[in-house]
Chain A
């Protein structure tokens, strides 16, 4: 399998009130194409920070992140935005749907900005795949948490990205919805051959992945 991400000796420090806090320490790992990796760890261990680094939303204090051999530390913000637009699908614990867009419009949106044709038909198809055919014209505020997360997943996969980065995608869901969303993510990833890197506290979900990375106090412990 080809290499998609390479994280090379990543360190992330925050300065809070004059005190340096080391959030991530010497992180090294690779994510291959069509590979599913789960990142587990306790709260405050640096999981979300690592995900933000991988999505190009934050810069490491030291070290380099390579995405398809492109070093995030040497490319501009706009180039990182362009990579995110075309190649990275993001799923959040808080869903982050566009509030004044319907479920269908939310799913169509990444395709529209990527100028993908027949976006409406494709979005309809994906929504029916995630079981929201009848809820497609509802606004996010009219959907339950599980439904919102399914829309978020549909949106993340709609434009066939290279990777889905998911931050505790089942963190806000009940058991039934957790199962549903977990299966959706894993199955889609496999079906569409999209890499998946997810942060989770859910051991069952983590076990469904090809590999599990354990993060403890900002360091990877295998």
Chain B
């Protein structure tokens, strides 16, 4: 080996070419930075969830029941084997003395809470104070700010007064409050003064336990009791991961796109670098160095830079996530612990090197084509990026290694494989499109227009580079359109105003004997308010067609929520105005002896249910079986009353039930609920605008982070494309020079450049638009579960902006080759 021994020469070469080589590595550096940031973010979240799963759950195991708690016998038995804290969670309304109110999830804790982790409160002793002081309450920051409360002030739950003794900074067991965390803590004595027994309070009894001994196990009867839900730390970490894994997956594929697009950029820049350096290479060869010696020189130089790039990218990535953690990422509700990990760095380095070899190999291999004879003829070689069978196999193997490791180290490996499959498929599509396109253009004869003729000739002459350009532009445009559509869809979701006919409030937990008073109170607040009142029960699906529903679908099914836990069910004489029947017949409203069921058709579709199938429900401990008679189209997004399950009214009304109501006031801002809350203290309400804001806060966090990363990827795409333009521009120096000397006006050369680009642009725009529509539709509907829409304005803006940036880059890149001074080249041949 000649060069490794002659390290001094290598460094000298590197130093001399530093400006050109930095240009080659600029895009790959940026993409490694994105990749590092995403990897650090992903690993920090996963590690945090994994390391703290027990704390997030609040113990080694959690048992929970709805509506009623476990009996004392059960609890005593558990206490023999486990340390236990009993937490009761319910939803209620906090009202201030100034008649402000807010729906809050309240946790009732005992003296053992928390078993794991720390409750951060202000003042620090307020938790122990809460456990010993009756009718005291700890509220969270949002509640404190929204209700403008101070420590020492009184607030009411139902009609019971509580004193605010502190503010919650954070709770350790966040499993149930990951996203929407308005909460308060009270103690058991305070809870005993309240009447929490209706469906609207969504009451849960949770028993968080730590094993006294390693072999402490739950008894068989607990497992057999279908009312009891058992959670392990792994379930919590799985749930938390599932909540954010779409977000992480999105970031991951953006990073993968960035790294692959920058690989193409690296290929272009390296090609330009070698083309410009071919006289040097020819001179080295004439002095006796072999192609392999020179290749080793280039590989060693680039590896030195790559190691340097990866290290800086990784370190910057750590800093970025560290700062983002305090700003944009607080919507995740997790404190990320960011630190340098050698394994993480090695992974970044590994992927960087793989990408380098995948894209740089055919270019570096083209060194073989540079002939010493060029020096005699004073001519240069048009380097072709030809893929031999050997190089094709080598590159494919590297690509497979890249995809394999990328997929197994990321969330949703299967979907990541699908992404790579399509990415590579699209790359090939654009590659073949360029070939076919040039072939078709070549068949066009007798073209009278000189510029068109010249444009086609140039496209044919630089077909190898035009293929690269078309692949780069195609992938770039597809990514741009895709991200544009994704952003516009998320943005639309964020800006979606509450539908016009949507109610302002949902009132829950109205008992039959309270209904009259409730209606009167609403009438008193606003005589023109629109009220809809429907009955409601809670039931668990025991079997579907005599089978355990969990045997029908797994947790990944979109309708798993339907069979998991209790469902709220209502009934109606007629089909609800917003839920048209789309299959089957609406029932006989006088049928009293048979239970008939109406289902949301999407759920039915996911569970593969048919009209006539049977479902058995557990209602207040009794099993009731009914027949599915129709499917309805339920649009939960209209924010009116929507039940996945409806029963036939005569049968269902025999079941003990309560009511829920939606109210649309004439003017929401003038509404004062203090009287109704005082007279009907047990009811709960959900203010629609508040609820939507909470959802938006999370989506907004995702949106900002996604946009930030997307913008960087878009910039990478533009840099790569501008590099490709520069490469072609530099190769056309000679041609443009001759054209100018022959009297071809500068304006015409500019026109020719634009013309050529437009010829390339047409099929790219069409194809990338089709691809991005398909992919964004798939992504939006599957991962974000929101309605996809096509924004013509976003597409037009992206196209126009891209064209402007593209043509400007094109003209700037070529301008230097058209300057008068270029004619000095003539003297040197």
Please list the residues of chain A having a beta carbon within 8 angstroms of any beta carbon in chain B: 48, 52, 55, 57-58, 77-78, 81-86, 88, 90, 92-94, 96-101, 105, 109-110, 112-113, 155
Contact = CB atoms under 8 A, between A and B. Distances in A.
Contacts of A105: 457
Contacts of A97: 738
B823 interface: yes
Nearest to A112: B450
Interface in B781-827: 820, 823, 826-827
Interface string B434-477: 00000000000000001000000110111000000000000000
B823 A52 contact: yes
Q: Which of A48, A82, A94 has the most CB of B within 10 A?
A: A94
Contacts of B144: none
A61 B421 CA distance: 63
B742 A109 contact: yes
A98 B738 contact: yes
Interface stretch (B132-140, B228-236, B743-751): B743-751
Q: Which of B461, B462, B748 has the most CB of A within 10 A?
A: B461
A110 B742 contact: yes
B278 to A, nearest CB: 15
Given A77-B820, A100-B458, A57 B741 contact: yes
Contact of B746 (A58, A81, A84, A93): A81
17 contacts: A52-B826, A57-B823, A78-B746, A78-B747, A81-B743, A81-B745, A81-B746, A88-B743, A90-B741, A94-B378, A96-B741, A96-B826, A99-B461, A100-B462, A113-B742, A113-B743, A113-B748
A188 B745 CA distance: 27
Contacts of B378: 94
A100 B739 CA distance: 12
A113 B741 contact: no
Given A85-B745, A93-B829, A97-B738, 11 more contacts: A52-B826, A57-B820, A77-B746, A81-B744, A83-B743, A85-B742, A96-B737, A100-B735, A109-B742, A110-B742, A113-B450
A113 B702 CA distance: 56
B429 interface: no
Given A52-B823, A94-B378, A94-B829, A99 B742 contact: no
Interface of B: 378, 382, 450, 457-458, 460-462, 734-735, 737-748, 820, 823, 826-827, 829
B735 to A, nearest CB: 6
A84 B741 contact: yes
A83 B745 CA distance: 11
Given A58-B823, A99-B461, A100-B457, A85 B743 contact: yes
A92 B826 contact: yes
Contacts of A83: 743
Contacts of A88: 743
B457 A81 contact: no
A82 B458 contact: no
A102 B745 CA distance: 22
B457 A90 contact: no
A98 B735 contact: yes
Contacts of A109: 742
A86 B460 CA distance: 29
A96 B738 CA distance: 6
A90 B744 CA distance: 13
Contacts of A99: 382, 461, 734-735
A84 B742 contact: yes
Nearest to A83: B743
Nearest to A102: B457
B731 to A, nearest CB: 10
Q: Which of A81, A86, A88 has the most CB of B within 10 A?
A: A81
Contacts of B738: 96-98
Contacts of B742: 84-85, 90, 109-110, 113, 155
Nearest to A59: B820
B745 to A, nearest CB: 6
Nearest to B743: A85
